[in-house]
């Protein structure tokens, strides 16, 4: 089987990367604090993603001027497959109107357990049952409370690195929250305050959050943003469900942060 490069993220930097973590559909490679992910087509394009036809069994990855060396064997990323991760802000895409309430209702109903969707549906706080989970919930609520009251540095300090899963829930929530601020065109000061206190040591979280702070997103998120300003509820629901499928609670946590910022601040 011939390995094919299907898409190449526009935020990928040249260098030699070592395998950091391996999953069924994703291989994460790290160079200092820079992350590059080899992903299957169902994961899709992203700022730091290289989508490939299959995942090779490798432990090193070298990138040089769009040449990708898989354990020494080079593959050229065609110019036609370079993914543009920038979000072009427009009134149509950023003022969701009735769609905001629709998304909040959908998120509240179908999010997985232990996600931060409780910010819209307090009844879901009952999903946090053990003593550890209840303490985690209390800290999450504190961080959200601080963000809601404009204490952005404190909120970021409380939420970053907090939560369950491969990427902590607090990190994903802050990513969505920050992306909404970025797209508003009037949130740069707030973003700087959040950046100063974002202390997560998770390389995947850092890469994701950094992209959100710059208005850079993967294709799934871009489709959701495009649907948010449209009248096609069927397409909007599909794009929201596709985002919820990212990780265990990652998609729900990200959407919770994004929609929370829209509903409370913007």
What does the pLDDT average to over 247-257? 95
Place of tokens 């799934």: 220
Mean pLDDT, residues 223-248: 93
Q: What are phi and psi of 23, to 5 degrees?
A: -135, 175
Q: Please provide residue 38's backbone torsions phi and psi, each rounded to the nearest 5 degrees.
A: -85, 125
Sign (positive/negative) of CA torsion 149, 155, 158, 164? positive
CB distance 81 to 90 below 8 Å: no
| 70: nearest Cα among 36, 42, 25 | 36
CB 231 within 8 A of CB 102: no
3-state SS assignment for residue 123: helix
- Identify which of 16, 25, 1 has the alpha carbon closest to the alpha carbon of residue 59: 16
Beta-sheet pairing, 15-22 with 60-64: antiparallel
Give the per-residue pLDDT at 247: 85
**Is residue 79's pLDDT more than 90?**
no
pLDDT number for residue 90: 60
List the chain domain ranges. Answer: 5-83, 91-264
- In this predicted structure, what is the pLDDT of residue 266? 65
Sign of torsion over alpha carbons 67, 68, 72, 75: negative
- Length of the chain (residues): 266
Per-residue confidence (pLDDT) for residue 95, from 0 to 100? 59
Q: What is the mean pLDDT of the chain?
A: 93
Distance CA 189, CA 176 (A): 16
Query: How many whole angstroms separate alpha carbon 183 and alpha carbon 205?
Result: 20
- Can you tell me the mean pLDDT for 221-241? 93
Question: What pLDDT digit, counting tens, does each position of 85-134 carry?
Answer: 999 766 555 556 789 999 999 999 999 999 999 999 999 999 999 999 99
How crowded is residue 241: how many other Cβ atoms within 10 Å of its Cβ?
A: 13
230-258 average pLDDT score: 94
Mind listing the pLDDT tens digit for each residue in 136-155?
A: 999 999 999 999 999 999 99
Q: How confident is the model at residue 165 (pLDDT cuts 50, 70, 90)?
A: confident
């Amino acid at each position: 089987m011939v390995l094919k490069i299907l898409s190449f993220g526009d935020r990928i930097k040249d260098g030699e990367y070592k395998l950091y973590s391996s999953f069924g559909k994703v291989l994460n490679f790290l160079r200092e604090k820079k992350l590059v992910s080899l992903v299957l087509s169902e994961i899709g394009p992203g700022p730091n993603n290289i989508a490939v036809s299959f995942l090779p069994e490798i432990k090193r990855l070298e990138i040089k001027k769009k040449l990708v060396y898989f354990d020494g064997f080079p593959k050229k990323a065609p110019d036609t497959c370079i993914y543009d991760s920038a979000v072009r802000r427009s009134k149509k895409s950023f003022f969701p109107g009735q769609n905001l309430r629709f998304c909040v209702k959908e998120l509240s109903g179908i999010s997985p357990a232990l996600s931060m969707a409780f910010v819209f549906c307090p009844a879901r706080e009952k999903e946090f049952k053990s003593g550890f989970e209840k303490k985690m919930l209390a800290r999450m609520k504190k961080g959200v409370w601080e963000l809601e009251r404009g204490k952005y540095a404190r909120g970021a300090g409380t939420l970053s690195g907090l939560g369950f899963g491969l990427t902590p829930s607090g990190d994903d929530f802050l990513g969505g929250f920050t992306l909404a601020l970025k797209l508003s065109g009037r949130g740069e000061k707030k973003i700087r305050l959040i950046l100063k206190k974002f202390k997560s040591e998770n390389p995947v979280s850092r890469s994701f959050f950094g992209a959100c702070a710059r208005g850079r997103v993967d294709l799934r998120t871009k489709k959701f943003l495009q649907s948010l300003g449209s009248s096609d509820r069927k397409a909007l629901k599909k794009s929201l469900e596709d985002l919820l499928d990212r990780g265990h609670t990652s998609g729900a946590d990200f959407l919770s942060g994004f929609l929370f910022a829209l509903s409370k601040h913007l």
